[in-house]
Amino acid sequence: MEHQRKANRGVIPVQVQRQRRRESRLRIACLLLTAAVIFGMFSVVSAATDRFSWKLDLTEDQVFRLTDTTKNILAELEDTVTFTYCNNHSDADTNLKEVLSRYASASPRIDVAYVDLDANPALVETYSQKGIELSPDGILVTCGIQSRFMQWSDLYEIRTTSGGDGSQSYSITGLKSETMLTSAIVAVSGQDCPGVAFTAGHSEDDTDTLRNLAANSNYEVSQVVLGVDTMDENVEVVVIAGAKRDFSEAELAVLEAFMDRGGSLCVFRDPEVNSLPNLDGYLAEWGITVTDQIVLEPRQQMDSPLNIIPNFGVSMINVYFSEHSTYLVLPECRALELTNANASITNAVLRSTSSSYAKDFSSMSTLAQSAEDATGPFTVAATSERSFTNSAGENDTQYVFAVACSSFYQDSYLKTGSLGNSDLILQVLSYMTGNEVTLNIPTKNLAADSLSVSRTVIMLFAAVFVVILPLGLLLTGVWVFLKRRHS
């Protein structure tokens, strides 16, 4: 009763005040404890996210996600590989920082360090004496005494545009850091790299993109003038890419000596060069004859009957394409004829369709099909193989691959991700060398694609977000107001 009277007079009993103070302190303690727990969980999750790369890559082209090729190579590392980024961590390129963190999270044998070159001139001098010039924002990859350095520009795909006034502008279109870094890991970690030698001295048309495709796919690329340069012992494949002048008999004798020790030959024959009798004669000795006929496709083509899209033949080279849905484009390609000459076993790798037709290159005046044209299918890429006894006294096989087309390895075709032209080259090299590590890691697209929106879609968005949603919220508010007023 006394408490009731004090409460009625507005006086709060002491016991109630103490109880309220205890409850207030308890609430504050719970609040502080909850905040501490949340902060601790956030710190642990943040640290784990950085350490184990628990991040969702929501970019359109999965820019930062490592491919299975890279993961398999990292899983086989026996020695520690160190990435040294030539700049402070706070000033480092955001994209490259994320890529490096993914590598470190994928393997315990990957270490990442950030070094300011201005604050460490000794490091710059040390590698300068080794012939490696370090530059800001580049990445140095080391393993033991082996090292490889990539400049910042090597890690991106940069497009150059020329203006009408002669000026040039540059734009970043792709991120190729994974290709370069994984290739560097293979190079410095001591894995064997088969040699691929491109011939020179005959106006060859091999491009930087073609060479880089091989170099970045675990092949040691070199250039050789037959009969002048000494060919390295590790060279397993000689590539003749778009030669416009014939090879001499002396040069072919050097090539034959290379083949006698078990080497292989890859020929991209220029279809517009009429006469290469020595080179064509050498291919004929392997059962591959380059004809005078240019193959055209009326339907299975890209933009022109000359740009044929061939079918895949029954060949081990094409196993990859049976598992990966893609297609090739061969622009302006001559037909090949196959025989089993000199104990060679020939096989069609690529063939045109049955609806294709062929015209004599020397007399071709129109692309339209005529009655005198030969009809397909035609062989457009082929292999020839022979058995031999290697230096260990074991039976082995050597190969010749030929295609009478030199435009299919130009930049526009090798850099188009939807085409399999680059895959074909790598599968051919892998088939010839037995090299299972082919690092054909595609460049990750960074260019923003434009989104086309029709007038109908614009009106639909306007109706939903400008009319329907605001009107719905207004009617809901009126209904809630009237309901409360009457309750």
Please write the tens of the pLDDT for every residue from 15-48: 777 777 787 788 788 878 888 888 777 666 655 5
In a domain, 143, yes or no: yes
58-72, 233-247, 253-267: least confidently modelled range? 58-72
- What's the rounded mean pLDDT across residues 117-142? 91
Which parts of 216-305 fold into alpha helices (H)? 249-260, 277-285
Tell me the residue range of the domain where 119 lies: 58-191
Q: How many Å apart are CA 112 and CA 183, to the nearest integer?
A: 17
Q: How sure is the predictor about 448, in pLDDT bands with cuts at 50, 70 and 90?
A: low
pLDDT top residue among 14 and 330: 330
In angstroms, the first-to-last Cα distance of the chain is 37
Q: How many Å apart are CA 472 and CA 212, to the nearest integer?
A: 60
Cα torsion 265, 210, 64, 435 to 10°: value is: 10
Task: Check whether 101 has a pLDDT greater than 70.
Answer: yes
Q: Are residues 227 and 324 in the same domain?
A: yes
Q: Is 48 helix (H, G, I), strand (E, B) or coil?
A: helix
- For position 153, what pLDDT does the model report? 86
* 4 C-beta neighbours (distance < 10 Å), count: 8
- For position 58, what pLDDT does the model report? 45
**CATH number of the domain that 125 lies in?**
3.40.30.10
Residue type, 477: G
52 in Cβ contact with 105 (< 8 Å): yes
Q: Are residues 267 and 406 in the same domain?
A: yes
Inter-CA distances, 410 with 80, 181, 318, 379, Å: 37, 24, 21, 21
Q: Are residues 306 and 413 in the same domain?
A: yes
**Residues above pLDDT 90, as percent of the chain:** 38
pLDDT top residue among 206 and 349: 349
Task: Check whether 241 has a pLDDT greater than 50.
Answer: yes
Gyration radius from the chain CA atoms? 33
Q: How sure is the predictor about 459, in pLDDT bands with cuts at 50, 70 and 90?
A: confident
Cα 167 versus chain centre, distance: 30
Q: Are residues 217 and 277 in the same domain?
A: yes
Task: Kindly state the DSSP code that residue 449 receives in the 8-state scheme.
Answer: P
Q: How many Å apart are CA 382 and CA 338, to the nearest integer?
A: 8
222-226, 290-294, 335-339, 455-459: least confidently modelled range? 455-459
State the pairing for strand pair 235-241/110-114.
Answer: unpaired
In a domain, 254, yes or no: yes
Please write the tens of the pLDDT for every residue from 185-195: 887 886 667 88
In a domain, 5, yes or no: no
Task: Check whether 12 has a pLDDT greater than 90.
Answer: no
Please write the tens of the pLDDT for every residue from 381-436: 999 998 887 777 778 888 999 999 988 888 888 877 678 888 899 899 988 987 76
pLDDT top residue among 75 and 170: 75
Q: How many Å apart are CA 160 and CA 153, to the nearest integer?
A: 13
From the list 335, 333, 358, the residue with the least C-alpha distance to 421 is 333
Q: Are residues 230 and 350 in the same domain?
A: yes
